[in-house]
Structure 1
Amino acid sequence: MTLDFPVADLPTPDAKPASTAALMPDAQTVTAVRHWTDRLFSFRVTRPASLRFRSGEFVMIGLPDERGKPILRAYSIASPSWDEELEFYSIKVPDGPLTSRLQHIQPGDQIILRPKPVGTLVLDALLPGKRLWFLATGTGIAPFASLMRDPETFERYDQVIMMHTCREAAELEYGRDLVAGLHGDELLTEMFGADFDKRLVYYPTTTRETTERMGRITDNLSSGKVFADLGLPPMNPAEDRAMVCGSLAFNIDVKAVLEGFGLREGANSDPKEFVVEKAFVGDGI
């Protein structure tokens, strides 16, 4: 996402609602908006006919400021590469230059979308393996929402584990809703069998509100709790692959844990056992 989007969304005075200017460059039309909490929302927009991307990549989106100058941020595409529309998942920053406006968009409004996707959270950046771990905090789940909805992910891996951590239980609802929908998807069940719910595992935890499962991803990995809970062996470089998306501090900490299991960081040009989204520079607060 960055990818706990938006990126570097610093306070600015006199924030105004989203613009609906009709002649913005690279304009796309909002088709749906859903507010999950007072801090989180998702939205869908039309897809440029020329846009081709790999599930897990991000693009620059934004709105014009009062002078018409684009305010752009990196947002992971949360929809899969086959979808006819594009979905995004965002935090709300009341005084942020972009999200102070973006959080007010409604169907029919327009946003700017630069159709040049990039990113490291793609399947081709990993060596073949047995299990794929998605490790995310907050809106860092967005690129994995794309990958979880892409059948190619399950063609390449026997099992996908989505570890998602937020402060409060309500902030996990986007992920819960997504995974529940995938578990009930008739096409995926037909393609991958009646036990598809065992092939896609959702492991949500909170760090502030008391819930059934708590703790940071790094702690649950290092202590072995997640492996015990799921009946899996500890990560090993022969079978396990991982993708990481969250705050800069989170990415650094998780990288150290994964390297402790013997996994090596890869890239598009040099596939290894795990990849980290490097576009992230801040959480916009």
Structure 2
Amino acid sequence: MNMHARPPQLLPEHAAFQTCAVRWVRHWNEHLFSFAIERPASFRFRSGEFVMLGLEGEGKPLMRAYSIASPTWSDELEFLSIKVPDGPLTSRLQTIRAGDQLYLGKKPTGTLVADALLPGKRLFLLSTGTGLAPFLSIARDPDIYDAFGQIVIVHSTRRVSDLAYHDELTAQLAGDPLVADQALLQFHYIPTVTREPFRTTGRIGQLIEEGWLFHPPVSGERALNPETDRVMLCGSSEMIRDFSAMLERHGFDEGSNAKPGTFVVERAFVG
């Protein structure tokens, strides 16, 4: 036993939130980390949804919305987060360890779900930074592979080390027990880096304009087509704003749970 190891952080019970133990933490670099918590037996969510997560603050829980990165069938809830040195929550959250407790909201929600999209052939999941998180859940959902012929994740970061889950995605989710066989044929991963040398460089918009996004193994048209393509956007406010405008100029319309469309964004994270 390590006599210098600190005891797990335990939280007081709170009527509005559940307390869940941290299972594991993975630090990708000095700016980015992933972690997972135990999943309550009663917790249900749709791929792409987010939930409130947090720690005890000054007299009340300090909560923030986090997209769920784990698939709907998993017995744990996985998240991807940036590290903000002076952030009210993330400055503390980045120090959590296995065994610590976090507050978990009881009701997941969100608009970045397949229910908000019309049927289509190709599904493009365009993300920057930690906007990758909900797409990790969506790409491991067996129903997605039945609904679309191709699923394409595009992840843009500033640095190579910011490409979280790069190895797992490059391997086309080979270790996934439910979608590995389908992903081998239908799933494509396109990482791109904007500030360091890499095999693919440039912002996502540049890849679309130059047609690079539609090179093999992605098959079909060499441009986005609202008749057959569906798009999900998750990332910075600037990225969401610019891409939404671009998609609308090309005939796409934003969908919602009440009225499905040809593209969707998570409005909860857009300033």
Same fold (TM over 0.5): yes
Q: Which of 218, 227, 230 is matched with 2:214 structurally?
A: 227
CA offset at residue 173 of structure 1?
A: 3.4
Equivalent residue runs for 1:1-285 within 5 Å: 20-25=9-14, 26-65=18-57, 67-180=58-171, 182-185=173-176, 187-190=178-181, 192=182, 196-228=183-215, 230-233=218-221, 234-281=223-270
Change in Cα spacing, 1:32 to 1:41, as seen in structure 2 (3 Å) is: same
Unaligned runs of 5+ in 2: 1-5
Shift of 1:84: 1.1
| AA partner of residue 43 (structure 2) | L
CA deviations on 1:95-137 (whole Å, 9 max, x unpaired) are 1000110000000000011121110111110000000000000
State the Cα distance separating 1:184 from its structure 2 match. 4.5
Secondary structure of residue in 1 paired with 2:269: coil
Residues 19 and 64 in structure 1, CA contact (< 8 A), matched pair in contact too = no
Q: Compute the displacement of 1:181 (Å).
A: 6.0
Deviation at 1:18, TM superposition (A): 11
Corresponding letter in the other structure for 1:41: F
How high is the sequence identity, in percent, across the aligned residues? Answer: 51
Matches of 2:208 and 2:174 in 1, distance apart?
25
- Structure possessing the higher relative contact order (Cα contacts under 8 Å, 6 or more residues apart): 1
One-letter amino acid of the structure 2 residue matched with residue 262 of structure 1: G
Shift of 1:180: 2.2
Number of residues of Structure 1 aligned to a counterpart in Structure 2: 261
Deviation at 1:68, TM superposition (A): 3.5
Contact 2:51 2:104 (C-alpha < 8 Å) held by counterparts: yes
Q: State the distance in 2 between where 1:64 and 1:185 align.
A: 35
Secondary structure of the equivalent of 2:45? coil
TM-score for both structures, normalised by structure 2 = 0.90
- Superposed displacement of residue 58, structure 1: 0.2
| Aligned mates of 2:62, 2:96 — CA distance in 1 | 15
What are structure 1's unaligned runs of at least 5 residues?
A: 1-16
- C-alpha separation between the residues in 2 aligned to 1:187 and 1:47? 19
Distance in 2 (CA, whole Å) between partners of 1:80 and 1:169 is: 25
Q: CA deviation at 1:225?
A: 2.4
- The question of whether the paired residues in 1 share the 8 Å contact of 2:8 and 2:97 is answered with no
- RMSD value, Cα: 2.0
Give secondary structure in 2 for the equivalent of 1:117.
Answer: coil
Distance 2:220 2:133 in 1: 25
Following superposition, the deviation at residue 178 of structure 1 comes to 4.1
1:103 alignment partner AA: Q
CA distance in 2, matches of 1:232, 1:213: 21
Q: Which amino acid aligns with 2:97?
A: Q
1:168-226 deviations in whole A, cap 9, x for unaligned? 01111324424526135464344x3xxx3341000010110111101111221133221
Secondary structure of 1:163's partner?
Answer: strand
C-alpha distance after superposition, 1:130-152 (max 9, x if no partner): 00000000000000001011111
Task: Describe the shift of the 1:189–1:53 C-alpha distance in structure 2 as closer, same or farther (beyond 3 A).
Answer: closer
Q: What is the distance in 2 between the residues matched to 1:37 and 1:205? A: 17
Whether the 8 Å CA contact 1:30–1:108 is kept in 2: the answer is yes
